[in-house]
Amino acid sequence: MVARISCAILVSLSLASRPSAEGAEPSLESRLTPLIEAHKGKVAVAVKNLKTGESFRYHADEPMPTASLIKFPVMVEVYRQAAEKKVDLDQTVTLRKEDKVPGSGILTNHFSPGATFPLRDAVHLMIVYSDNTATNLVLDAIGIKSTAETMEKLGYANTKIHSKVFKGSTTVFPERSKQFGLGSTTAAEMVGLCEALWKKELVDPSACDAMLAHLRACDDKDKFPRFLPAGTKLAFKTGSLDAAKTAAGIIECPAGPVAVCVLTNDNADRRWVTDNAGNRLCADVARAVYDHFSPAKTDQDVKSQ
């Protein structure tokens, strides 16, 4: 099975790099479609150059599971509530034994019950290390349903966190929990959220700067960053489950910042390894996007496409 997956990837990469016409640069569609079609599983992708508007969409309006990617919208809600003085980012949260849940992060295995730290640090752990225990502490502070309510007001009706992590009994959207697990969204909505963040339209400019700083520190090296040139700046969040791998964020390409979202589900490859096919698709899409927007295109080039 590994050999077949590797072969499909090699073929798709070859096709993705093939010019769409003799002497012409490959289109964004011709770069991305073969990668998507080679993947064994459900895929949704959205891409938008935030400078030129050039975009690509594949099943971008189809609701999909987020896995831990939903922690990005949760962060937005924390900063919204902080701006409205409903929570204080410097308020102290206390870790209890019963708060600890398994999975990604560092609190459960490396911090003792009774440890205290600012809510701001819990948000940082939630984004950078995708800390599940920190996420639940954040949700205790802001409420579970508030993120979905805010996302709907912003125009992202499919973007919802359904419950605490590894605490399905806390669900506020039981039917969506059954269908999607922890959270749900669409590729188009995640790209829209990334664009609003980049344009500093979420909460206020200082909050956007703080949120971008959290996202730029994300430590997942298996997805978007894997094949990008050293030094490429990006702000992103990812998610991983057995059958789903997800990623969304902003890649700073030579032709401008590009918002990208890749959602996968029902994946045939369910190995927890770096070269998992879902991880690889996220990495390949990120590199294909970067290559497409390098070198920088002039406004005239974009208009002529």
In this structure, are residues 122 and 31 in contact, taking their beta carbons and an 8 Å threshold? no
Q: Which residue has the tokens 């059954």?
A: 178
**114 vs 23: which has the higher pLDDT:** 114
- Residues of the chain above pLDDT 70, percent: 89
pTM of the complete model: 0.89
Each residue's pLDDT tens digit, 205-231: 999 999 999 999 999 999 999 999 999
Average pLDDT for 174-194: 98
Residue 107, CB-side half-sphere exposure with 13 Å CA sphere: 31
156/177 Cα distance (integer angstroms): 18
pLDDT in tens, 71-97: 999 999 999 999 999 999 999 999 999
What class has domain 63-185? alpha beta
For the chain, give the number of residues: 305
257-267 per-position pLDDT tens digit:
999 999 999 99
pLDDT surpassing 70 at residue 170: yes
Domain boundaries, the chain: 40-62+219-305, 63-185
Q: How far is CA 124 from CA 83, 108, 131, in A?
A: 17, 15, 9
* Beta bridge mates, 57: 46
147, 161 Cβ separation under 8 angstroms: yes
As assigned by CATH, the class of the 40-62+219-305 domain is alpha beta
Count Cβ atoms within 10 A of the Cβ of residue 288 and give its class: 0-12 exposed, 13-18 middle, 19 or more buried.
buried
**Element at 252 (helix H, strand E):** strand 245-253
Distances in whole angstroms, Cα of residue 97 to Cα of each of 94, 112, 145, 165:
10, 8, 24, 15
